[in-house]
């Protein structure tokens, strides 16, 4: 295969990775701080996509409707997440792992069906927004502008999150609670509030991921399942609870899948799992996580 | 529930015997369609109880029982479809191969704990699913294997029902023996406190692996049984939805009791049939049921019932003069 | 009977245990005390197989046991009593102890026997000596704090150890409870012929019953001797006083 094809695959892999990064990092943060594996994360991503579609099509008469929905959709998902955390998830923090698993699984069922109820089973699409329609052309290389935009979003959010966690007071509080909940509590931190905040942040990120993906692929039932499993793979590779790990994991995942499809298309799906399996066997806490 | 009261045991025994008698007599007055449903429920009960060996007794949360279940189903399917090997052997081969695969998968998985254990079981289950899905030449992939021949004796639904019922009794009998044996008690101790169990001289990982393999064996039985029941197999026998179905069934009935998963499968099938009659949004309803369970019915149906009984006993004891004979 | 030579363990550059050596005679009742951070817990984990030492040797009855996993160490006859939370909450009191006895008798692998029918006498003996036979059918998690402590010791006895290590057995207890616990352990030691090693934070707890006390500070043993000697030792006083301020 030629250089062009290689570069396209590379870019393609990276752009896929960067979108999933947003969702994976939310999952990782939630696990790192709340110690809960939020299975519903994929469904929240889907909710974000649907909300984006909804806002976008409702405001389609306005210019920049997509960009407006990019503001609102993640907020809607975050709000939903906040309500869920407050009324349901809170009761589960001291419960057994299986019960937490089943709660978040139940949320998947509920969110997915609510989406079906609200928007039907047909797939929905959003047009690529101005000014990102069309593709960049460089010599004989053709790559969609929107995908390039997505590649840019990844590091942007990574830096933004890093700044949030390491340079703001809120970030410090979050890190304190993640590191030692009892101690933070004793020092006067309102731990339940922090939990809610982190959960909402995670949901916001998932919603943002969904919204960003909407112009690129169809919004439809079932999109949550694939993403969820990909997220698991990424957070395992990168390390549950690690921001950089999620970023690195997403890149690796994106690239491995893209090149996997090139080399052995039928088994490409399994590549991610095999990678996950290998990491769990030789280094369970992931590339950038810490052994417990 | 503070103490195990002999009277409760007697009641449970009576209920079990009555239940078995009812099950044995169902074909007499039930329609073929309904009988088919009950048959499915019996198979689900075997799978769930098998899963519960790991889940409720050993405390190991597996996200991927469906993978092992599918191994059992596909083994029997492939043998029956591609070879002339008699049904009995094909049927036995399913759980045996499932146990073998469990040994391999389990060996890796028990080296991990908690979330990581669960995620690895998921990864393996998904790999199994992908293999079945993609290896068209061998497993016919997405098309599945259909029109699997089973012996003429088992063709009529009533006959297969009794066959399933017998297998259920045998399997549950075996599992009952296992959970009440020293091995079973040690597994429970493991669940309660793996650290402490190490310090009474138990090689924790080895016991966990044994639980994994035993669980896999019975999941394989369920898979093989379902293969014969449906006369077809599909890749989605191994997918996450199926795994979760089994987990929900266990939780529904109560994971800390032996009959919990069985009760759970009865309730689950009931809910399934009733709810789908009213709405197509079965997942939504199921999700709400699960949440309701988690908040209100923590011990599952069995837990709820035994708490009620214990509460009633408590009242009896406090006002002996009011007890009527 | 129990010999430790030059044991050391460090974590990321921090020397938690730094060249500890001592010997324990059969039948002896001794203690290792020290303020928090002295390295007691690490030492304890090294002795019971939870951690592997960087350096040093541990011998039990002339056989090396350095680096063996916990279940192997238990098999050799070394028992460990934990702090309170280490029982099996959802099993009955009887089952809690029985499971240890079954492991001792190598019956844990068996899937054919009915557990409730075997080893009843052995289990009864232990339960009676810790005074819990009458509550044998109660779920362990429902016991009162003090009873859970007894159960914990009962589980340790289930393994029929020759040498029992007790890890801060009176942690979180009132002085009265502490005394009761210590007396119970002493009595059990006589009844079952155990050699005991207490690892304690509070000197007063073990003062009255120890034949020998060793004091640990910053990873090493800095004093060893009879209780009176230790109490009179200025260095020891300083360490503890320093901690109180």
Q: Decide: C and A in contact? Rule: 3+ Cβ pairs under 8 Å.
A: no
The average pLDDT across A207-212 equals 92
> In this prediction, what percent of chain C has a pLDDT beyond 90?
7
Domains of chain B: 6-322 (1.10.3470)
Indicate whether C156 and C172 sit together in one domain: no
Taking 3-state DSSP, the helix, strand and coil percentages for chain A, each rounded to the nearest 5, stand at 75, 5, 20
How many domains in chain C? 2
The values of phi and psi at residue A12, to 5°, are -60, -45
Does a cis peptide bond (omega within 30 degrees of 0) precede residue A281? no
pLDDT of residue B6: 53
Tell me the pLDDT tens digit for each residue of B184-215.
999 999 998 888 898 888 899 999 999 999 99
pLDDT band at residue B66 under the 50/70/90 scheme: very high
Mutate to test the interface with C, among B59, B176, B181 (most CBs of C within 10 A): B181
Indicate whether C103 and C67 sit together in one domain: no
pLDDT band at residue B316 under the 50/70/90 scheme: low
pLDDT of residue A1: 59
The average pLDDT across A119-139 equals 79
Cβ-contact B227, B77 below 8 angstroms: yes
The values of phi and psi at residue A216, to 5°, are -90, -35
Indicate whether C166 and C130 sit together in one domain: no
Cα distances (angstroms) measured from residue A284 to each of A238, B110, B275: 10, 12, 41
Indicate whether C166 and C156 sit together in one domain: no
Output the domain CATH number for residue C71: 3.40.50.300
The average pLDDT across B35-51 equals 94
Tell me the pLDDT tens digit for each residue of B137-185.
788 888 888 888 888 888 888 899 999 999 999 999 999 999 999 999 9
Alpha carbon of C46: minimum distance to chain B alpha carbons (Å)? 13
- For chain C, residues with pLDDT lower than 50 are 245
- Higher pLDDT, residue A219 or B7: A219
Tell me the pLDDT tens digit for each residue of B256-292.
889 999 999 999 998 888 888 888 888 888 889 888 8
pLDDT of residue B4: 45
Domain that holds residue C138: 85-160
From chain C, pick out residues whose CB is under 8 angstroms from the CB of B199.
48, 70-71, 74, 79-80, 82, 159
Cβ-contact A147, A258 below 8 angstroms: no
Question: Taking CB atoms and an 8 Å limit, are B196 and C104 in contact across chains?
Answer: no
Which of C160, C179, C211 is the C-terminal boundary of a domain? Answer: C160
Alpha carbon of A112: minimum distance to chain B alpha carbons (Å)? 8
pLDDT at B318 over 80: no
The average pLDDT across A69-96 equals 90
Please say whether the dihedral angle defined by the alpha carbons of residues B171, B175, B176 and B177, taken in this order, is positive or negative: positive
For residue C80, the surrounding DSSP H or E stretch is strand C78-81
pLDDT of residue C245: 42
Indicate whether C156 and C168 sit together in one domain: no
Cβ-contact B190, B59 below 8 angstroms: yes
Question: Taking CB atoms and an 8 Å limit, are C75 and B198 in contact across chains?
Answer: no
Question: Taking CB atoms and an 8 Å limit, are B286 and A106 in contact across chains?
Answer: yes
Indicate whether C56 and C91 sit together in one domain: no
Domains of chain A: 3-282 (1.10.3470)
pLDDT at B324 over 50: no
pLDDT band at residue B57 under the 50/70/90 scheme: very high
pLDDT at A142 over 70: yes
For chain B, list the contacting chains (3+ Cβ pairs, <8 Å).
A, C
Indicate whether C153 and C167 sit together in one domain: no
Indicate whether C52 and C167 sit together in one domain: yes
Tell me the residues of chain A between 101 and 140 that have a Cβ less than 8 Å away from chain B. 101-103, 105-110, 112-114, 116-117
pLDDT of residue B322: 42
DSSP code, position B57:
I
Mutate to test the interface with A, among B130, B242, B268 (most CBs of A within 10 A): B130
C-alpha B211/C-alpha B216 separation (Å) is: 8
Predicted-complex ipTM score? 0.84
Indicate whether C168 and C148 sit together in one domain: no
Query: Of B281, C234, B119, whose CA–CA distance to A37 is shortest?
Result: B119
Which of C160, C190, C219 is the C-terminal boundary of a domain? Answer: C160
Tell me the pLDDT tens digit for each residue of B207-241.
999 999 999 999 999 999 999 999 999 998 998 88
Out of A91, A108, A274, the one facing B295 most closely (by C-beta) is A91
Tell me the pLDDT tens digit for each residue of C132-147.
888 888 888 888 877 8
Indicate whether C180 and C69 sit together in one domain: yes
From chain B, pick out residues whose CB is under 8 angstroms from the CB of C100.
200-201
pLDDT at B325 over 70: no
- Higher pLDDT, residue B287 or B48: B48
**Which pair of tokens denotes residue A48?**
């974000």
Give the number of other CB atoms < 10 A from CB of residue A88. 16
pLDDT of residue B1: 36
Indicate whether C17 and C48 sit together in one domain: yes
Indicate whether C10 and C56 sit together in one domain: yes
**Which pair of tokens denotes residue A170?**
């809120």
Which of C125, C160, C195 is the C-terminal boundary of a domain? Answer: C160
């Amino acid at each position: 295969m030629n250089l062009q094809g290689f570069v396209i695959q590379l870019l393609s892999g990276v752009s896929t990775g960067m979108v999933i990064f947003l969702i994976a990092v939310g999952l990782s943060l939630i696990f790192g701080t709340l110690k809960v594996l939020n299975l519903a994360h994929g469904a929240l991503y889907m909710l974000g996509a649907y909300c984006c579609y909804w806002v976008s099509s409702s405001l389609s008469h306005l210019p920049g409707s997509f960009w407006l929905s990019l503001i609102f959709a993640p907020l809607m998902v975050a709000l939903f997440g906040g309500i869920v955390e407050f009324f349901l998830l809170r009761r589960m923090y001291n419960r057994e792992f299986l019960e937490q698993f089943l709660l978040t699984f139940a949320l998947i069922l509920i969110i997915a069906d609510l989406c079906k109820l609200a928007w039907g089973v047909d797939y929905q699409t959003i047009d690529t927004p101005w000014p990102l329609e069309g593709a960049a052309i460089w010599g004989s290389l053709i790559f969609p502008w929107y995908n390039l935009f997505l590649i840019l979003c990844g590091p942007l959010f990574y830096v933004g999150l890093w700044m949030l966690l390491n340079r703001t007071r809120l970030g410090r509080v979050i890190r304190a609670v993640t590191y030692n909940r009892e101690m933070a509590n004793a020092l006067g931190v309102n731990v339940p509030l922090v939990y809610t905040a982190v959960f909402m942040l995670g949901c916001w990120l998932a919603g943002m991921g969904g919204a960003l993906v909407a112009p690129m692929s169809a919004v439809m039932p079932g999109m949550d399942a694939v993403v969820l499993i990909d997220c698991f793979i990424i957070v395992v590779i990168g390390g549950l609870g690690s921001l950089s790990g999620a970023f690195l994991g997403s890149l690796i995942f994106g690239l491995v899948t893209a090149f996997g499809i090139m080399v052995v298309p039928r088994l490409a799906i399994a590549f991610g799992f095999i990678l996950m399996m290998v990491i769990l066997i030789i280094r369970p806490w992931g590339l950038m996580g810490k052994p417990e | 529930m503070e103490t195990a009261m002999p009277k409760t045991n007697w009641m449970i025994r009576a209920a079990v015997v009555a239940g078995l008698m009812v099950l044995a007599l169902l074909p007499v007055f039930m329609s073929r369609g309904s009988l088919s449903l009950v048959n499915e429920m019996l198979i689900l009960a075997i799978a769930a109880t098998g899963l519960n060996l790991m889940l409720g007794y050993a405390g190991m949360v597996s996200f991927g029982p469906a993978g092992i279940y599918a191994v059992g189903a596909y083994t029997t399917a492939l043998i029956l479809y591609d070879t002339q090997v008699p049904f009995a052997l094909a049927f036995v081969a399913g759980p045996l191969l499932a146990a073998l695969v469990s040994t391999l998968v389990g060996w890796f998985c028990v080296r991990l704990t908690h979330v990581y254990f669960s995620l690895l079981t998921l990864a393996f289950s998904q790999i199994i699913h992908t293999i079945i899905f993609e290896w068209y030449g061998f497993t016919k992939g997405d098309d599945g294997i259909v029109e699997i021949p089973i012996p003429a004796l088992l063709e009529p639904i009533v006959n297969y029902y009794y066959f399933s019922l017998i297998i259920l009794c045998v399997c549950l009998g075996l599992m009952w023996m296992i959970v009440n044996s020293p091995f079973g008690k040690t597994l429970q101790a493991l669940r309660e406190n793996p650290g402490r169990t190490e310090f009474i001289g138990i090689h924790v990982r080895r016991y966990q692996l044994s639980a994994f393999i035993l669980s896999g064996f019975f999941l394989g039985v369920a898979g093989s049984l379902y293969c014969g029941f449906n006369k077809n197999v599909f890749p989605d026998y191994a997918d996450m939805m199926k795994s979760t179905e089994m987990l929900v069934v266990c939780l529904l009935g109560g994971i800390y009791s032996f009959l919990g998963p069985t009760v759970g499968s009865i309730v689950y099938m009931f809910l399934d049939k009733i709810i789908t009659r009213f709405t197509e949004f079965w997942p939504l309803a199921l999700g709400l049921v699960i949440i309701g369970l988690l908040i209100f019915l923590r011990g599952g149906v069995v837990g709820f019932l035994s708490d009620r009984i214990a509460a009633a006993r408590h009242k009896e004891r406090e006002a002996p003069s009011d007890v009527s004979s | 009977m129990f010999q430790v030579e030059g044991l050391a363990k460090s974590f990321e550059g921090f020397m938690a245990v730094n060249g500890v050596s001592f010997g324990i005679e059969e039948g002896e009742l001794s203690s290792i005390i020290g303020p928090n951070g002295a390295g007691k817990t690490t030492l304890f984990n090294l002795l019971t197989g939870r951690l592997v030492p960087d350096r040093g040797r541990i011998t039990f009855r002339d056989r090396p046991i350095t680096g063996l996993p916990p279940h192997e160490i238990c098999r050799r006859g070394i028992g460990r009593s934990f702090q309170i939370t280490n029982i099996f909450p959802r099993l009955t009191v009887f089952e809690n102890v029985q499971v240890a006895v079954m492991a001792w008798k190598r019956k844990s692998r068996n899937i054919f026997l009915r557990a409730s029918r075997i080893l009843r006498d052995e289990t009864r003996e232990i339960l009676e000596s810790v005074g819990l036979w009458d509550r044998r059918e109660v779920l362990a998690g429902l016991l009162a704090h003090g009873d859970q402590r007894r159960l914990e010791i009962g589980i340790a006895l289930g393994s029929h150890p020759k040498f029992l290590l007790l890890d801060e057995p009176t942690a979180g207890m009132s002085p009265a409870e502490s005394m009761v616990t210590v007396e119970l352990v002493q009595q059990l030691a006589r009844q079952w012929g155990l050699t005991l090693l207490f690892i304690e934070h509070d000197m007063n707890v073990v003062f009255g019953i120890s034949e020998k006390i060793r004091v640990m500070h910053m990873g090493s043993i800095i004093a060893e001797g009879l209780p009176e000697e230790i109490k009179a030792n200025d260095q020891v006083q300083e360490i503890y006083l320093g901690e109180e301020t």
